[in-house]
Amino acid sequence: MPLILDGNRVRDRILDELRPRVEALASAARPPGLAVVLAGSHAPSQIYVRNKVKACADLGIYSESVTPPETATTEELVAIVESLNQRPEIDGILVQLPLPPQVDTRRVLLAVSPEKDADGFHPYNVGNLVAGRPGPRACTPAGIMELLRQYEIPVAGKRAVVVGRSDIVGKPMALLLLHAHATVTICHSKTADLPGVCREGQILVAAIGRPAMLTAEYIRPGATVIDVGMNRITDRAGAARIFRGSPERLAALERKGSVLVGDVDPVDVQEKAGAYTPVPGGVGPLTIAMLMANTVASAEAGVGRKPATVVC
Ligand code: NAP
């Protein structure tokens, strides 16, 4: 039986390690502070932000949600971010994506002071990542590295294959694996012979956004498979194929009208992998934990007290 990499367990350990650090900051001066900018009424974003605010409250981190309307302009959002940059009690700023279509997302993200960039998306911090310099890292890939570390899965010298080259998951994931001395291949929609390349991976990371796309032919026997995908499906026939032998997941679809599936086939991964992250309960819980970790690290570095740097 493969090892199931339990993201909830790793999340709890990360949060337990942060708790005394938050208490120390709170008793020395003030608790760490995170501001979340949520523009408009995108339903999944509202759920994500609610979960982030709840995680802050559970840990004793001060949080603040700024909720401009769906009609907000780029200038209005930049002004909100700039005012948060100046606030000494705010150590981290997160701009929840996607922003409404009329907004220039790049300009808004660039306005975030790199020191307060809780998501690690600012190009300045991406540069720090490329250069192997300290700085906030993108939360999902950083959480995956923590998961590999806690489960003592060797990375150095291993062949790692990352499917997906997005700025928020695929690219930073590949760089973190590279810095941990894996030999890394990044794949995307134009990769030739994707199954063959994936089968080279002793560590295979799927960050694609295509339900159960990576089937048995993509998985090297015994590989560690990290499934970042979070796809909500509503189609009964598709769910019956993907969750063959899992009547409880099909029942969940009947009950809720949709069911969550990763980018890796959940049955095939059990048969071929040596270790894997389930969906849900694998990578998902790690992202918020690392957001908390980035905020605490910023507070410890005294970010709120320093004048904000803006790199545009
Ligand atoms: P994204 O920006 O849409 O990027 C998807 C990547 O997959 C792209 O690089 C794309 O290639 C590649 N791709 C798409 N179809 C492909 C195919 N048929 N063959 C090979 N590569 C293909 O997505 P993302 O933001 O990275 O997110 C990926 C998944 O992770 C989504 O399901 C998302 O919901 C999930 N996610 C989960 C968490 C979490 O906390 N668990 C966090 C973030 C994202 P091209 O570049 O060539 O188009």
CB 44 near ligand 1, within 6 Å: no
**Span 200-207, mean pLDDT?**
98
Beta strands 259-261 and 231-233, pairing class: antiparallel
Side-by-side strand order, sheet with 33-37:
62-66, 33-37, 92-95
Please list, in sequence order, all residues whose beta carbon lies within 8 angstroms of the beta carbon of residue 224, skipping any fewer than 6 positions away: 5, 148, 153, 202, 203, 204, 273, 274, 275, 276
Q: What is the whole-number distance in angstroms between the Cα of residue 164 and the centre of ligand 1?
A: 5
Q: What is the whole-number distance in angstroms between the Cα of residue 228 and the centre of ligand 1?
A: 8
Q: Which residues pair with 36 in a beta bridge?
A: 65, 94
d(CA 144, CA 287): 9
Q: How far is CA 254 from the centre of its chain?
A: 29
Residue minimizing CA distance to atom 47 of ligand 1? 189
**Tokens matching residue 83:** 């005012």
Q: What is the DSSP string of 227-268?
A: E---EEE--HHHHHHHTTT-HHHHHHHHHHS-EEE-SB-HHH
What does each C-alpha distance from 48 to 142, 166, 246, 307 come to in angstroms? 18, 19, 27, 30
Q: Tell me what pLDDT residue 310 has.
A: 62
| Mean confidence (pLDDT) of the chain | 95
| Active-site residue (options: 52, 116, 171, 272) | 52
CB 207 near ligand 1, within 6 Å: yes
Q: Which of 96, 121, 208 to mutate to test the pocket of ligand 1 (most atoms within 8 A of CB)?
A: 208
Query: Which of 286, 186, 179, 268 is closest to 228 using CA atoms?
Result: 286
Closest ligand 1 atom to residue 170 Cα is 26
**Span 207-234, mean pLDDT?**
97
CB 283 near ligand 1, within 6 Å: yes
Decide if 52 is catalytic: yes
Q: What is the whole-number distance in angstroms between the Cα of residue 97 and the centre of ligand 1?
A: 14
- On the question of pLDDT at 309 being above 70, the answer is no
**What residue spans of the chain are helical by DSSP H?**
7-28, 43-59, 74-86, 105-111, 123-131, 139-150, 170-179, 194-198, 236-242, 247-256, 266-272, 284-300
Q: Tell me what pLDDT residue 245 has.
A: 83
d(CA 211, CA 238): 9
Give the dihedral sign, CA 199/205/206/208: negative
- On the question of pLDDT at 312 being above 60, the answer is no
Counted residue by residue, the chain has a size of: 312
Q: Which of 48, 140, 145, 188 to mutate to test the pocket of ligand 1 (most atoms within 8 A of CB)?
A: 188
CB 170 near ligand 1, within 6 Å: yes
pLDDT digits (tens, 9 = 90+) for 227-283: 999 999 999 999 999 999 889 999 989 999 999 999 999 999 999 999 999 999 999
d(CA 170, CA 3): 23
Q: How far is CA 159 from the centre of its chain?
A: 22
pLDDT digits (tens, 9 = 90+) for 104-117: 999 999 999 999 99
Q: Tell me what pLDDT residue 304 has.
A: 63
pTM: 0.95
Q: Tell me what pLDDT residue 308 has.
A: 65
d(CA 221, CA 223): 6
| Active-site residue (options: 119, 227, 263, 265) | 119
Q: Give the three-state DSSP class for 163.
A: strand
Q: Tell me what pLDDT residue 305 has.
A: 63
